[in-house]
Amino acid sequence: MEYFTRYGLEFNPFLKNSREILVHTNERRETLFRLDYLAKTKGFGLLTGGAGRGKTTVIRTWAAGLNPSLYKVIYTSLSTLTANDFYRNLAQELGAQPSFRKPDNFRTIQEEITRLCLEKRKTPVIIIDEANYINNAILNDLKILFNFEMDSRDRAAKTEFHPAAGNS
């Protein structure tokens, strides 16, 4: 506690969720610009950077600023699951009843995304934390999962982020 006095701290900045410290850097502004672009264009994105660089903080801040009447944010950090468990979790996060079979979960996820887009007029924003742990089966399926109307429509924005040494 001596460092509180020594450095004039009001709280311990090293405790998780003690308080968000937002450092406004060019990298942060560029990341926010790109995330906004992904949301508007319903694209895929990948955010990489070293541990402690603020990826989760910037994503959390950005997602909290999205208009909830226009966007539905789905966040998952369950990236070490089996492929079918991953899809079951995604279906549940979208508000649907998950199935036991992968093709049924695919259909359920696509139907729920379509319902959100067309009926609710909301863009789903799917955020996958720690995407570096996703197995290849899921990575190979993601493009297929978000293939709508013979790949002529994008209905959801997808953002993945994971640590990568040397990147920001």
Domains in the chain and their CATH numbers? 24-163 (3.40.50.300)
The tens digit of pLDDT for each residue in 5-57 reads 777 766 666 666 555 666 677 888 898 999 998 888 887 787 888 777 778 88
- For residues 131 and 55, the answer to whether their CB atoms sit within 8 Å is no
Distance CA 93, CA 73 (A): 9
Using alpha carbons only, give the angle 138, 89, 96 rounded to the nearest 5 degrees.
Answer: 120
Position 38 scores a pLDDT of 86
Backbone phi, psi, residue 38, to 5°: -60, -45
* 126-165 CB burial, b ≥16 within 10 A, e <16: bbbbbbeebeeebeeebeebbebeeeeebbbbbbbbbebe
**Hey, what are 160's tokens?**
């993945």
Is pLDDT of 103 > 70?
yes
The beta strand positions in 56-143, using DSSP E, are: 71-76, 123-129
What is the layout of strands, in order, in the sheet containing 44-49?
44-49, 157-163, 123-129, 71-76
Distance CA 161, CA 108 (A): 25
3-state secondary structure of 101: coil
Dmax of the chain from CA atoms?
63
Quote the pTM value.
Answer: 0.70
Categorize the per-residue pLDDT at 150 as very low, low, confident or very high, splitting at 50, 70 and 90. Answer: very low
